[in-house]
Amino acid sequence: MDSLTSLAQRLMALDDKLTDCMRCGMCQAVCPMFGASGMEADVARGKLALIGNMAHEIFRDPDALSDKLGRCLLCGSCQAACPPGVKIMDIFRESREVVHEFLGLHPAKKLIFRQLLGHPKLFNLAMSVGAPVQKLLFRSSNDRQGTVCAPMLDFMLGDRHIRPLAKQSLHAKYGFLDESRAPNKLQVAFFPGCLGDKMYTEMSEACIKVLHHHGVAIYMPDTFACCGIPAVSSGDAKGMLNQLSCNLALLANRSFDYLVTPCGSCTSTIKELWPEYAERLDDTSARVAKSISDRTMDINAFLIDVLHVEPKTPKEGAVKVTYHDSCHLKKSLGISAQPRTLLKANENYSLVEMNEADRCCGCGGSFNLFHYDYSRKIGQRKRDNVVQSGAAVVTAGCPACMMQLEDVLSHNGDPVTVKHPVELYAETL
Amino acid sequence: MASQGLISDFEQMLGKENVFSSEADLQSYSYDSAVLEPVIPSLVVRPTNSEQLAAAVTKLYENGIPMTVRGSGTNLSGGTIPDKSETVVILTTGLTRILEINSNDLYAVVEPGVITAQFAQEVAKSNLFYPPDPGSQAVSTIGGNIAENAGGLRGLKYGVTKDYVMGLEFFDATGALVKTGSRTVKCVTGYNLAGMMIQSEGTLGVISQAILKLVPPPKASRALMAVFDNIQNAAEAVAGIIAAHVLPCTLEFLDNNTIVRVDDFTHAGLPREAGAILLIEVDGHPAQVEDDAAAVEKVLKENKATAVHIPKDAAEKFKLWEARRMALPVLARCRPTTVLEDATVPRSQIPAMMKAVNEIAAKYKVEVGTFGHAGDGNLHPTFLCDKRDKEEYHRVELAIDEMFDVAINLQGTLSGEHGIGTAKSKWMEKETSRGTILFSQRLRRALDPKGLLNPSKLVGI
Ligand SMILES: Cc1cc2nc3c(=O)[nH]c(=O)nc-3n(C[C@H](O)[C@H](O)[C@H](O)COP(=O)(O)OP(=O)(O)OC[C@H]3O[C@@H](n4cnc5c(N)ncnc54)[C@H](O)[C@@H]3O)c2cc1C
Ligand code: SF4
Ligand code: SF4
């Protein structure tokens, strides 16, 4: 009964934020989940109503609530479009945390989020064993994206066309990197993110190449933990705090000028959630997290706003490229111009806009794991827009989006490749 | 909760994926955009074609179960809040096909769940124009627009939803198909039942298909913004524009409180001392637009506008309209509860109405910001409060009561576009007459003998 009472109390604390929702329903226009299911319980208005009823103890089925809350990509599209500016993401995170604390994490998720991601050494070990072994499990799906499908892992992966893990992870290749600053030049901490470390290593290497080209020194320890967003999304505050402490220890007392990441989700987590969660650790951590947050930048924004990379006019016969606005970049951080400018820095490409460029691609991190059918349905709309644009390359500033784009394009057999804007810029150097 | 038997019957009829009976799902169809208490329905069903819709209505009629039709649930008067716990909600959101866009005969045929803005976009692709543009158009359904007779910013020149309905198909309370109107501009075959269905708020039948009028799009447009020391001057300017025989497509105003609140939020440098701002857009043939804009500018200056801004390009025009777009979002951010009203008065009575609204707000010590459609007298006094504070909310209710009295005395109306639902039914008789209520109720009872269609809405049954 105690846990129930504390649950109710924490939900009561949400009441103020919840009453800001005027039930206007405008979030229906942008919600990818609602777009796919058409069910009111899937749109922010419906979820907020459920959470509100829970707080008022009308609603007594936390399992169903948890299930409903999970039908969400945490993409923030609703919050960005919400007329009265309801703090929807805070409410969703907080209620997920509360509900999951109450229900207890699913054992498998507990293992992944708390053990593996929280203990980088263990995670890295598991992955390095994974890479050679997976050759036996995956077969190539013969497509432009270089993904593989995994018939033997069907029970776990469904019909995903995901790319294989890198043969060698970034941290294994570079080890503990700590370059010293050249005179009058910058040093950045480079946070590749899990996908940048283990899957999209060529993207991360493009970032390193570009930074070096501009004379920027890099600090990149080989034991970064996950940024924590998967744990937060499943309501696992403990897992997040674990990973956060780990990362703060690596970043405290370091004099880098900026922390840059090629992953929109990592950037928004570091900027927005680290300071908030660090307050639950201790004063010092809170101070460190705040100082890191202030210095954190998306790599596209860093290249344009700090290093002043200039756009060029596309050459005759340039390859058409289009850009997908990742939710965490555009809706959380307001970054949409810089990646486009960066694409224009390579004159061999010409930027064409797709329809609904800022509509969610449907990945949503662990949403993709648990609601693959909806994820695919939402992704199909994105795919249609990409293909309609006529572009040969689609870019996104977040490897999670890249993974989703590769999956849907591959399933449709489309000859469109998926890249990070930095990769195209790196081609010019 | 509905009986297991009824649930399985519907599952058979519509498919499992279109029948919602879990408590969590039922909860999410217990409210709409009105500030009213939720009522949880017993079952929610989503037909995906007309035959299924007819079958669902018939089934509910046979079982004597009350039904509430729901589009996107954005009405502001409680029209989609279930009447009682036995109510079954029928969603139209599975009926989303645009069946025809005919550019020779200038009409379109749609199912009721089509989203207004998506429809307008499709129509635009055929280089045609569907003008009704309620503020909720990005989410509202055509069925909801018809059943509420939704208006919008373009009302003054282009009219409202009713001006675009050429014909309808609907199912009566028993599930029988009724057809009215046609694809022709002229049609006098039988009663004008389409007219009866417009603004019927789900009480007379369930619309299954609509034939909508389309018009050629204007080729050019021009926007202007004018600043006034007080509302009286702004209202005289509006009268002057009409007297000069210019019919702007939009003619919007913001009052001082709204201007200040929007400026606080956007730091757009709005004139904080102004008593009112008018935002005007004229559209049509390019030459006509030039003439009209010049005429409007002249009238504005003659009527003591302290400043007139004319945007030079699309970007500036977009910025100019920002103040109007932000009015509701900004007001809604001020306090937890936002009560958006739509009392409407004859254009010339706007100053009297605005004076009364502000005096009433002061009397009851409640905050109100007003913006709205100056061209058609449709005001949106927006009361800002916290519903959880019972005493404050009571004062808001008293203020709104008094505001309606004034609107009626000024020969205006309770609701220009948001509908009656349950939110305003108690004032119906005051604006109309006892006879009107009785006549409407007799009409309803004749058409819906079991009293199943949204029974407590509008005049009741
Ligand atoms: C932010 C905001 C701005 C708004 N701005 C405007 C505005 O500018 N102008 C305006 O007029 N309104 C406005 N509204 C009110 C509302 O959006 C409109 O009334 C709209 O037409 C409702 O459409 P809906 O699909 O949400 O209908 P719902 O709310 O689902 O239903 C409205 C009514 O129609 C009935 N109904 C729905 N479908 C059918 C059908 N197929 N057959 C029979 N009855 C049916 C329902 O039973 C109900 O009584 C606004 C609302 C919000 C929240
Ligand atoms: S847009 Fe915001 S205020 Fe409107 S219903 Fe959605 S969450 Fe609530
Ligand atoms: S976060 Fe995204 S998926 Fe979740 S409710 Fe908001 S818009 Fe929908």
CB B199 less than 6 A from any atom of ligand 1: no
Indicate the pLDDT class of residue B451, thresholds 50, 70 and 90.
very high
- Residue linked to tokens 């936002």: B338
Q: Which of A22, A39, A53 sits opposite B332 (nearest CB)?
A: A22
- pLDDT at res. A51: 85
Residue B332 sits at the chain A interface (C-beta within 8 Å):
yes
Indicate the pLDDT class of residue A137, thresholds 50, 70 and 90.
very low
Please give the class, per CATH, of domain B220-409: alpha beta
CB A78 less than 6 A from any atom of ligand 3: yes
CB B321 within 8 A of CB B327: no
- pLDDT at res. A151: 41
Q: Where are the domains of chain B?
A: 4-91, 98-213, 220-409, 433-461
The minimum CA-CA distance between B379 and chain A, rounded to whole Å, is 19
CB A76 less than 6 A from any atom of ligand 3: yes
Cα B145 from Cα B136, distance rounded (Å):
10
Q: What mean pLDDT, rounded, does chain A reach? A: 85
In the three-class reduction of DSSP (H, G, I as helix; E, B as strand; rest coil), residue B55 is classed as helix
Residue A159 pLDDT > 80: no
B253 Cα: distance to centroid of ligand 2 (angstroms): 25
- pLDDT 10s digits, B90-118: 999 999 999 999 999 999 999 999 999 99
- pLDDT at res. A238: 87
Q: Where are the domains of chain A?
A: 2-103, 120-137+166-304, 310-426
- pLDDT 10s digits, B46-75: 999 999 999 999 999 999 999 999 999 999
- pLDDT at res. A101: 72
A37 Cα: distance to centroid of ligand 3 (angstroms): 12
**Pocket residue to mutate for ligand 1, from B46, B60, B140, B344, most atoms within 8 A of Cβ:** B140
Indicate the pLDDT class of residue A316, thresholds 50, 70 and 90.
very high
Residues 75-134 on B with a CB inside 8 Å of A are 93-94, 117
Which residues of chain A neighbour B139 with C-beta distances below 8 Å? 25-26, 28-29
User: In the structure encoding, which two tokens stand for residue B154, read together?
Assistant: 């373009």
Indicate the pLDDT class of residue A233, thresholds 50, 70 and 90.
confident
- Beta strands at A417-419 and A393-396: parallel, antiparallel or unpaired: parallel
Indicate the pLDDT class of residue B244, thresholds 50, 70 and 90.
very high
Residue A253 pLDDT > 50: yes
Indicate the pLDDT class of residue B403, thresholds 50, 70 and 90.
very high
Residue B134 pLDDT > 50: yes
Please give the class, per CATH, of domain A310-426: alpha beta
- pLDDT at res. A155: 39
Amino acid of residue A329? L
**Pocket residue to mutate for ligand 1, from B70, B118, B199, most atoms within 8 A of Cβ:** B70
Which residues of chain A neighbour B46 with C-beta distances below 8 Å? 38
CB A23 less than 6 A from any atom of ligand 2: yes
Residue A123 pLDDT > 70: no
Indicate the pLDDT class of residue A148, thresholds 50, 70 and 90.
very low
Residue B393 sits at the chain A interface (C-beta within 8 Å):
no
Ligand 1: which atom is nearest the Cα of residue B95?
Answer: 41
Residues 63-102 on A with a CB inside 8 Å of B are 64-65, 67-68, 83-85
- CATH 3.40.50 fits domain A120-137+166-304: yes
Ligand that comes closest to the CA of residue A20: 2
A51: nearest CA partner in chain B: B24
Question: Are B98-213 and B220-409 the same fold in CATH?
Answer: no
- pLDDT at res. B268: 80
- pLDDT at res. A17: 84
Indicate the pLDDT class of residue A158, thresholds 50, 70 and 90.
low
Residue B175 pLDDT > 80: yes
Indicate the pLDDT class of residue B33, thresholds 50, 70 and 90.
very high
Rounded average pLDDT over A11-37: 89
- A80-84, B56-60, B138-142: the lowest-pLDDT one: A80-84
- pLDDT at res. B367: 93
Residue B120 pLDDT > 90: yes
Residue A12 pLDDT > 80: no
Residue A41 sits at the chain B interface (C-beta within 8 Å):
yes
- pLDDT at res. B459: 93
Residue A350 pLDDT > 90: yes
Q: Which of B29, B117, B139 sits opposite A25 (nearest CB)?
A: B139
CB contact under 8 A, A24 and B136: yes
- pLDDT at res. A180: 94
Rounded average pLDDT over A185-209: 95
CB A108 within 8 A of CB A68: no
Indicate the pLDDT class of residue A1, thresholds 50, 70 and 90.
very low
Rounded average pLDDT over A298-318: 96
A54: nearest CA partner in chain B: B24
Domain B4-91, what fold?
3.30.43
Rounded average pLDDT over B176-186: 94
- pLDDT at res. A110: 47
Indicate the pLDDT class of residue B389, thresholds 50, 70 and 90.
very high
The minimum CA-CA distance between A20 and chain B, rounded to whole Å, is 5
CB B202 less than 6 A from any atom of ligand 1: yes
CB contact under 8 A, A23 and B46: no
A191 Cα: distance to centroid of ligand 3 (angstroms): 27
Three state DSSP letters for chain A? CHHHHHHHHHHHHCHHHHHCCCCCCHHHHCCHHHHHHCCHHHCHHHHHHHHHHHHCCCCCCHHHHHHHHHCCCCCCHHHHHCCCCCCHHHHHHHHHHHHHHHHCCCHHHHHHHHHHCCCHHHHHHHHHHHHHHHHHHCEECCCCCCCEECHHHHHHHCCCCECCCCCCCHHHHHCCEECCCCCCCCEEEECCHHHHHHCCHHHHHHHHHHHHHCCCEEEECCCCCCCCHHHHHCCCHHHHHHHHHHHHHHHCCCCCCEEEECCHHHHHHHHHHHHHHHCCCCHHHHHHHHHHHHHEEEHHHHHHHHCCCCCCCCCCCCEEEEEECCHHHHHHHCCCHHHHHHHHCCCCEEECCCCCCCCCCCCCCHHHHHCHHHHHHHHHHHHHHHHHHCCCEEEECCHHHHHHHHHHHHHCCCCCEEECHHHHHHCCC
Domain B98-213, what fold?
3.30.465
pTM for the model: 0.87
- pLDDT at res. B320: 81
Amino acid of residue B435? G
- pLDDT at res. A76: 93
Residue B380 pLDDT > 50: yes
- pLDDT at res. A18: 87
CB contact under 8 A, A29 and B73: no
- A22-36, B123-137, B228-242, B385-399: the lowest-pLDDT one: B228-242
Residue A154 sits at the chain B interface (C-beta within 8 Å):
no
Residue A325 half-sphere exposure, CB side, CA atoms within 13 Å? 22
Three state DSSP letters for B253-265? EEEHHHHHHHHHH
- A79-83, B323-327, B358-362: the lowest-pLDDT one: B323-327
Residue B267 pLDDT > 90: no
Residue B207 pLDDT > 70: yes
Rounded average pLDDT over B333-355: 90
- pLDDT at res. A153: 40
Indicate the pLDDT class of residue A154, thresholds 50, 70 and 90.
very low
- pLDDT at res. A120: 61
- A104-118, A352-366, B330-344: the lowest-pLDDT one: A104-118
B145 Cα: distance to centroid of ligand 3 (angstroms): 26
Residue A138 pLDDT > 60: no
Rounded average pLDDT over B425-453: 95
Cα A362 from Cα A370, distance rounded (Å):
12
Residue A49 sits at the chain B interface (C-beta within 8 Å):
yes
Rounded average pLDDT over B373-394: 92
- pLDDT at res. A10: 72
Architecture of domain A2-103 in CATH?
A: Orthogonal Bundle (1.10)
- A28-42, A251-265, B157-171, B266-280: the lowest-pLDDT one: B266-280
Cα A300 from Cα B358, distance rounded (Å):
50
Share of chain A above pLDDT 70, in %: 81
- pLDDT at res. A119: 60
- A155-169, A382-396, B198-212, B438-452: the lowest-pLDDT one: A155-169
CB contact under 8 A, B388 and A19: yes
